[in-house]
Chain A
Amino acid sequence: MEQQEIIVNNETALHNIQRLTDNIETVIKGKRNQIKFVLTALLAKGHILMEDNPGTGKTIMARTLAQSISGISNGSVNFKRIQFTPDLLPMDLLGSHIFDDVKKDFIFKRGPLFCNVLLADEINRASPKVQSALLECMAENQITMGETTYKLENLFFTIATQNPIEMEGTYPLPAAQLDRFFIKIKFGYVDEETELGIYKDYIEINNNLNNIQQVLDISEVLYLQQQSENVFLHEEIIKAVRNIIWATRKQQDILLGASTRSGITFIKCLKAYALVNGRTYVIEDDLLDLALPVLHHRLIFRNKEAEAKTLGAIVNIEMERLSKLKLN
């Protein structure tokens, strides 16, 4: 009986994810993989960092996601967007105590962080001070101002975007902060065919953007987050994750290997990704698909060449092992 229920639940969950993906895809064309990664980060209770040039649809992605989820009070969930600039202060993010003339007291004016979906645009343009202010919120889901600790929303999902590091006026994110982002992806351009479609249908897409349907309740998202933890993870996959993590530490071309926390994050993401892909178990493909988005930004490589190749090679060895593996 109980087994039956879980399967039913799983099927609704899978169906919900499908709906969410399809909904976002009405606006973000030809980015199915990126959508999946975003949803993976969402379901893994993590955050995502997207790196690319301006104008590739990062912001729209975040907005569409936020608007697809209905909040408690009928409207869509709280979506905030902060444009990071060099002169941005932590206060501008967290909020500040201001004097209330009526109450004759300092009251806490909540900053934009008190939301469900936060779009931190061009995060690497802000000073390290601001970046680190994000740390606690992203990790602990709470803000500490002076003596008071303010809880953030249950569903708090950050989509950060950053310009490529080489661009002027950027501060590279500190390793600790990067670690907070479960997944870092390059948004990338769409293929020629899709781009043509976008140009043709841009009015319709714009319409869609303005009339995004709310397909999921926030509680359903929370339920999905909970469900992702129940995804079955085969022992060999866990072993493969361990092997990959260890290999990054042993490899001479990697100066800083992956931490244990990275491993845990990896596993969380694997489970969420399986769910996003409509499965209740993790397979080899998930490992290969996720290894780079999850691990690459956590490692420090010896040189450019190593950065381009090493992690892929490590994962490949593990893939080769798994693909020949005969499980009974």
Chain B
Amino acid sequence: MTPARSKPRRRWAYQLDVKGSPYLYIAPFFLLFGAVGMFPLLYTAYVSLTDWSLLEPTRQWVGLANYAELLTDDYFWNALFNTVSIWLLSTVPQLLAALFIAHMLNRSLHARTFFRMGVLLPNVTSIVAVTIIFAQLFGRDFGMVNWVLELVGLEPVDWQAGTLSSHIAISLIVIWRWTGYNALIYLAAMQTIPEHLYEAATLDGARQFTQFRKITIPMLRPTIIFTAVVSTIGGFQIIAEPLLFQAGTGNPTGGSDRQFQTVGLYLYEQGFGLYKFGYASAIAWTLCLIIVVMALVNYSVTRRIRRS
């Protein structure tokens, strides 16, 4: 028999083990996140309140002056417009196409695994390679797209020079890379929909499209919300595609008239092209707030998809 004295101590140790160890197990993640995620985040917030420039030896506290300047900065609003435009042009067609592809892949096909893996292939290719190839396809003088346009008797387009044309070209890069990924997520969700719902609907005489609209879409609601939110976060941070779309020219202005400069690219230009770290940090935090707001808007919009 153990002495009565040690009993509470053991219980205390047992309690600590049960209650404490889970925190210990997840601690590595949060410690790492704190060091490489949280600290830079907070430090950026501090820097955004200073006029720190890499070219000046001193930095001064300026309060919210960077944010005030940002709100009256034409180039920022231009970049925000470009970002929203490219995001809409890429996300909407992308998710619709993904839904359609997932629906097709969900049927009984020959070599089903082959096709299902195939749609993911564009996603595993390097973003640099894809963008450079697309930039060539959309070239002004010798691009394949213009060659096809001329073949069918249309006028060639200077894709990089125009606002809408450059947005379309960049959106296509995003669509090409991410449609398959979203299709697979939809497919996984579709396979959890009970078969008897469709059987019952068929018995009631509902046609394919009605079944898709009244059963598939409502059952996919949480998944659609997820993909919409993730695409919004990704779409608002877009930087590599517009940067590489003008490869070789060495400056991140997004075209001669900033016609395809996104907010991410503007941040990069201010921070790493002009070395204005204070201003760039203010852009980063503003972008973060915009993404939170847009994700919430998205959530409330997609939530309205009817339950069956």
Question: Does B bind A?
Answer: no
Interface positions of B (Cβ within 8 A of A): none
A interface list, Cβ under 8 A from B: none
